[in-house]
Amino acid sequence: MKEDPTDKKEQGSKASRQHPPEKEMTFFDHLHVLRSHLFRMVVALCLCSIAVFAGGAAIFDYVVLAPTKSNFLTFRGLCYVINFFQGGGAECFSFDSLTLIATGVSDQFLLHFKASFYIGFSITFPYFIYEIWRFVSPGLYQKERRTAALAIGWSGLLFYVGVAFGYFFLVPLAIYFFANYQISSQIENTFTIGNILGFMSTMTLLTGLLFQLPILGYILGRLGVVTAEFARRNRRYATVIIFILSAVITPSDPGTMFLVALPLMLLYEVTILVIATTGKARMST
C-alpha cells in the first residue's frame, strides 16, 4: 500500500511544531512561561554584574577608564600609523589636560555599581535574545525556527561589533576631542567620572543597538512591511536621517560624525540586501 505524499507532507509540517496541536496553552500558561524566561534573564544579568563588580579597580582601570589614557589600544594604533607616514618621533595623543573627579560622597560606589550593570548587560544581551527566542520558538515551524536561530546568532554578533566600534573608536576619539578642546588657557577641563561613564555607556550601548539594523530589516521584510525597492527608493532620506542621528550621537568634530555615519550607511545597504533576499525567500515558499 502506497502512502499519499500529500498526507506525508501534512504530517511533516504538523510534526515540526514543538508542542502538539491538541495541547493548547491559555493566556496564563503563556504568562507563566514568560515569567520563567524573564527570571532567568534577571538572574543572568545579576550574576554577570556581580562578577564584574567583584573585579573592582581592575575593571575601572583596564576597561572603564582605558579610553581616557594615552596608551589605549586605539591611540597606540593611530600613533603607529602617524609615525609610519611621518618618519617617527611624533607625540600623537596626550590627556595631560584631562582631570577626573568625583564630587558626591557616594559617587564612586554608585558609579562602580552602574558600570558593573552596564558591562553585565552588554555581556548578557545575546542571552536575552536567546531567551526571547526560546519563548516564541514553540509556536514556529521547523524551518522558521532555523531561520530565527540564525537571526539570533547574527543579532548577538552585530551587537558586539557595534559595542566594540563604539568603545574602541567613538568613545576614545570623542573624549580626546573634548579633553583637549579649550576656549581659553585659563579654563581647565575637569570631568566628573559620572560624565565619563554616562557618555561611554550611551555611546557603546547605542551603537550596539544601531548595529541591529539588518536584523530589523530582516523582520520587517519577512512581515512584508518594508520592501527592498522601498528602501532603495528612499535611500537619500535615510542618508539624511543617518547623518542627523550621527550628529546627535557624537556632538563633537565632523570627523567623528562621519566615523559614525559611514558604518551606518554600509549597514543600511546590507539591510537592503537582507530585505531583498528575504523577499525572494518568501515568494518562493
Q: What is the pLDDT of residue 71?
A: 85
Which residue is it, cell 534577571?
42
Please report, in tens digits, the pLDDT of each residue of the chain (285 residues total).
Answer: 444 554 444 444 444 444 444 456 676 777 888 889 899 999 999 999 999 999 888 888 888 888 888 888 888 888 888 887 777 666 677 776 677 888 888 888 888 999 999 999 999 998 998 888 888 877 777 777 777 777 888 888 899 999 999 899 888 888 888 888 878 878 888 888 888 888 888 888 888 888 888 888 888 887 778 888 888 898 899 889 888 887 777 665 676 778 778 888 888 998 888 888 875 444 444
Q: What is the pLDDT of residue 94?
A: 73
State the number of CA atoms in the 13 A half-sphere of 185 facing the CB.
Answer: 0
Tell me how far apart the alpha carbons of residues 208 and 205 are, in angstroms, rounded to a whole number.
Answer: 5
pLDDT tens, residue by residue, 227-281: 888 888 988 998 898 888 877 776 656 767 787 788 888 889 988 888 888 754 4
Q: What is the pLDDT of residue 80?
A: 84
Domain locations in the chain? 27-211, 213-285
Q: What is the pLDDT of residue 44?
A: 95
Tell me how far apart the alpha carbons of residues 274 and 270 are, in angstroms, rounded to a whole number.
Answer: 6
